[in-house]
Amino acid sequence: MALIVQKFGGSSVANAERVFNVADIVTKTYAEGNSVVVVVSAQGDTTDDLIEKAQEINPQASKREMDMLLTAGEQISASLLAMAIEKLGYPVVSLLGWQAGFHTSSAYGSARIKRVIPDRIKKELDKKNIVIVTGFQGINRYDDMTTLGRGGSDTSAVAIAAVMNADLCQIYTDVEGVFTADPRKVKNARKLSVISYDEMLELASLGAQVLNNRSVEMAKKYNIQLEVLSSLTRAKGTIVKEAKQMEKMMISGVAKDEKVARISIIGVPDKPGLAFKIFSKLAAKNVNVDIILQSIGRNGTKDISFTVDQQNLKDTIELLSAYVELIGASSVVYDENVAKVSVVGAGMETHPGVAADMFEALYEANINITMISTSEIKISVLISKEDADKAVAVIHDKFFSEAIHA
């Protein structure tokens, strides 16, 4: 008998029909003799609807009260799914995050899991119950409800799989696995049968919305094998596992992220230590910086450009605007009309020319590159947002056309 953790996203439980579909998947897994823990997200657009309701009441609502509100979405999903499973005649219990043992930091809206004490989950499994847990949430040291941020239900599922030593963690979504590009935008996108943790982590961090990047980090740390698959088609999905167990593909996927902004600090004095001062200020405010470009110094000054998540743009501009005069820079400017497009592949370490091929594809499509960032298994470029979809398509065609036409 295996212990299987199954996570279902918002689209999988969006309405009554889909809730019963999920109930069928769960009960069939249970009927095969497995112990089953299920983690659910809020139904469909429930989280967005709750945010909209909050905006109507108080656009400046505290993050604590927002967490109190948003945790209701997963509670609805968990209880409805439990009711559906009850109707099918199976033993089931639904638990809130804190009941399942999730203890988090106190960063409302983006809490980190500090520990999971799964005593209640174990007791319910011992009673032969199917256990349904609300994803995305926990409790802090003040006994306040907290949320883990967008995509937090993936992290909840992997955390349970890790602490319970689960045999498999399945992430059910509305796509059939991990594709070489977004299949809704790129016609020739192909499903991968397997992908490494590192490649998946890069794709998740770069805008591919199949898995939350924090969940992949945790899966890699605790060596939890993941399977990404569709609850709608039930087709075989993509396995995410350690790279040592698989052959390295040159390129595994192309991803885009349109939720970025470019910030430029103009006229920074060309002196040692100023970059450190700027980025340490941002780090202190938990602003994550991605691509960084520093111009060659001229006339005693230089420009420093970098990208941040759009949700951090306002705070970053406010912070830098007050600081830029102190360091002697002339101004801070920003651009939200940008997108980051990336290629990821563990095999590019041993295949020269990947960057050249990527840049050639963009040149042939008349797409201008404003910033470039590379790592061992990733190349990212910053381009105009209006060119993002076209860029993904031409880059994908450049790397995957031979395999497609073969």
Annotated binding residues, written as ranges, equal 7-10, 47, 74, 173-174, 184
> What CA–CA distance (Å, rounded) separates 50 from 54?
6
Mention every residue, 6+ apart, whose C-beta is less than 8 A from residue 20.
84
> What CA–CA distance (Å, rounded) separates 403 from 190?
10
Could you give the count of Cα atoms lying within 13 Å of 82 in the half-sphere of its Cβ?
20
Which residues make up each annotated binding site for ATP? 7-10, 173-174, 184
Strands 378-384 and 371-375: antiparallel
Which residues make up each annotated binding site for substrate? 47, 74
Q: For residue 366, which of 392, 398, 331, 390 has the smallest C-alpha distance?
A: 390
Q: Are 250 and 379 in contact (CB under 8 A)?
A: no
Neighbours of 337 (CB within 10 A): 10
Compute φ and ψ for 130, nearest 5 degrees. -75, 130
Neighbours of 289 (CB within 10 A): 16
Count of residues for the chain?
406
Q: DSSP assignment of 273-325, as one string?
A: THHHHHHHHHHHTT--EEEEEEPPPBTTEEEEEEEEEGGGHHHHHHHHHHHTT
* DSSP, res 195: E
Helix, coil or strand: residue 355 = helix
> What CA–CA distance (Å, rounded) separates 375 from 153?
28
> What CA–CA distance (Å, rounded) separates 310 from 53?
22
Strands 35-40 and 113-116: unpaired
